[in-house]
Structure 1
Amino acid sequence: MATALIWENSTDYEVGNVDQDGLWKTVIGELFEDFLLYFAPDLHAQVDFSKKADFIQQELFQQIIKDKKGRKIADQLVKVHLRDGEEKWVLVHIEIQSDNEPDFAKRMFQYFYRIFDKYDKEIVALAIMTSPHKSEYSTEFHYNYFGTKLNYAYNIYKTIDHSYEELEQSDKLFSKMVLAIKYMHDTKEDVDKRYAFKMKLMREVLKINRDYDTVLYIVFYFIALNEHISM
């Protein structure tokens, strides 16, 4: 049985400067199957996970955001194979968004048509909104000019719409990652409370039968607390 010895000093915590983009990118890469199980269960049921998911290089994203100073890339473009027996694959476009960006829906459409133009494959687009504030912007992109019309809609998940109770009762691993985001926002100015929430989060995750070392690392990393861990 593994034993974890944890030493922490809350005065060393860096509160309010969390690299959510990098954290999400790491977690999705490490636990992509669990990610799909939580955010896209219908797609998850059709994916052949005996074939490794392919995280495609992100030149397309870099072209689109090159003029946005300070923006880091969390977007993921993942190729997965299906179980239908055909040599068929879909592109899973994942976009993590923490700010209320007015042109977000437009950018989602730009990603879609550039990916479709490059690969000519079916695309599943998923946007995860991690802002603690209600968004007033459209979740669809509409274009209408002299009879030329376009309506583009995509899958969207807002962490603010899901309660602590719902997330705590879920037995899916990524529900705990969403829980970590909510904890992080709610304890932004209280490092002691954040430490207590991290311990609670660890207990929540360990209720799920997963690799202890991987989950422990990702949970601590994701909630953005400094610690020294020895196994």
Structure 2
Amino acid sequence: MAKINHDQLFKELLTTFFVEFLELFFPPILEYLDTDSIQFVDKELFPDLVRGEKKILDIVALAKFQEQDYSFLVHIENQASNAPKFNQRMFRYFCSLLKLSVFVF
């Protein structure tokens, strides 16, 4: 029997049912999110160019505010177990996304 890749399955389910996920767990976000504008973006970040460290994020979605030209990013990381320093890792991802968003979006 083939081993199930739970991480990939989670990503597929979440991208397929992204609006429903937000509706269930973060309903206030739908008050200002234009659901027709959601785009899943390249999740590859290069936070440390000197060391060449490459990170791939689980899910990053770009969405627009309703009736506005402004956009925002939604970043979701799947974590099946309690990982040490997860908060620090998420903060590093946030900093990388912030730098990227200033220059790209």
TM bucket normalised to smaller: 0.7 to 0.9
Tell me which amino acid in the other structure corresponds to 1:39. Answer: F
Count of aligned pairs between the two proteins: 97
- Taking the aligned partners of 1:50 and 1:115, their CA distance within structure 2 comes to 22
| Matching residue within 38, 43, 59 for 1:76 | 59
Identity fraction in percent: 30
User: 1:19 maps to which residue?
Assistant: 5
- Taking the aligned partners of 1:116 and 1:25, their CA distance within structure 2 comes to 22
What is the TM-score of this pair, normalised by structure 1? 0.38
- Taking the aligned partners of 2:45 and 2:80, their CA distance within structure 1 comes to 21
Deviation (angstroms), 1:64: 2.9
Structure of larger gyration radius = 1
Q: Which runs of 5+ in 2 are unaligned?
A: 47-52
Query: Residue 92 in 1 paired to residue 74 in 2?
Result: yes
- Taking the aligned partners of 1:50 and 1:94, their CA distance within structure 2 comes to 19
Tell me which amino acid in the other structure corresponds to 1:35. Answer: F
What is the TM-score of this pair, normalised by structure 2? 0.80
- Taking the aligned partners of 1:117 and 1:78, their CA distance within structure 2 comes to 16
Deviation >3 Å, runs of 4+: none
Deviations 1:165-194 (A, max 9, x none): xxxxxxxxxxxxxxxxxxxxxxxxxxxxxx
User: 2:15 maps to which residue?
Assistant: 29
Higher RCO (CA 8 Å, separation ≥ 6 residues): 1
Query: Residue 63 in 1 paired to residue 48 in 2?
Result: no
Q: SS state of the match for residue 60, structure 2?
A: strand
- Taking the aligned partners of 1:101 and 1:81, their CA distance within structure 2 comes to 32
User: 1:46 maps to which residue?
Assistant: 32
Tell me which amino acid in the other structure corresponds to 2:74. Answer: V
Cα RMSD, aligned residues only: 2.2
- Taking the aligned partners of 1:27 and 1:120, their CA distance within structure 2 comes to 29
Tell me which amino acid in the other structure corresponds to 1:58. Answer: K
Deviations 1:116-138 (A, max 9, x none): 011139xxxxxxxxxxxxxxxxx
- Taking the aligned partners of 1:20 and 1:44, their CA distance within structure 2 comes to 27
Superposition pairs for residues 175-194 of structure 1, below 5 Å? none
